Amino acid sequence: ALYLCDPAAGTAQKVTPDLFNVVTLDCVCGRVVYTGEERRGLQKRKSGLYLLDPATGQSRALIEPGTYTIRATMPFDGNTVFVQMAEEGQHTYYSGDLYAVDLESGEKRRLCAFEHSLFDAVNTDAYMGSGRTDRPDGGKLWVTVGDGDDCCLRTLDAEGRLSDRLCSPGSVQCFDVRGGRAVLAAHVKAAEVAA
């Protein structure tokens, strides 16, 4: 279950049912965007997308559960969240199409088919940290994207267009960005040595 807590008052208000499985949670300009579904029998893995207003404690569905398989949610700006999701009938391993969801109206706009794997650090037993794998900055969404045997830093614009890679080959584990300058926790591949 998801709770809205007020440490000063010492209160905790339950926002979702007891058996609600919260999958992702982000704060966007004083509001909370989260995904999940209530557990009833067999899990369908088709979460809903919800918006919580902490001032009122009210939560509403932007995307009803049971409709899409939501792979990722990424705040783009104060009123838009990018959502990568697959529709019913699409292959189980299809990453999903990229949508822009308006937080006020709930309107969703399909931006593009998006076959890249987001937040997909290369498998390793030596991670160099944990942290953000997406962050809005400068009118773009900075994000880690799987690219063959690399995981690189790239940006998405408001129409879902993906930039070229912004780092050397290797695996970006996490990053932060401000004013167009990024700091990475990453494994960079050694340059090939000529024989």
- The partner residues of 154 in beta bridges, in order of sequence, read 143
User: In terms of pTM, does the model score above 0.85?
Assistant: no
Decide which of 93 and 139 is more confident: 139
- Residue 179 DSSP code: T
Residue 3: which residues within 8 A CB-CB, separation 6 or more?
Answer: 12, 13, 14, 15
pLDDT tens digits, one per residue of 152-191? 899 999 999 999 999 888 888 889 999 999 998 887 776 5
How much is the mean pLDDT over the chain?
Answer: 85
pLDDT tens digits, one per residue of 104-159? 999 999 998 877 777 655 555 555 557 888 999 999 999 998 887 888 899 999 99
Average of pLDDT values for 42-64? 88
d(CA 82, CA 75) in angstroms, rounded, equals 6
- Of all residues in the chain, the percent with pLDDT exceeding 90 is 54
Number of H helices, E strands in the chain: 0, 16
d(CA 174, CA 109) in angstroms, rounded, equals 28
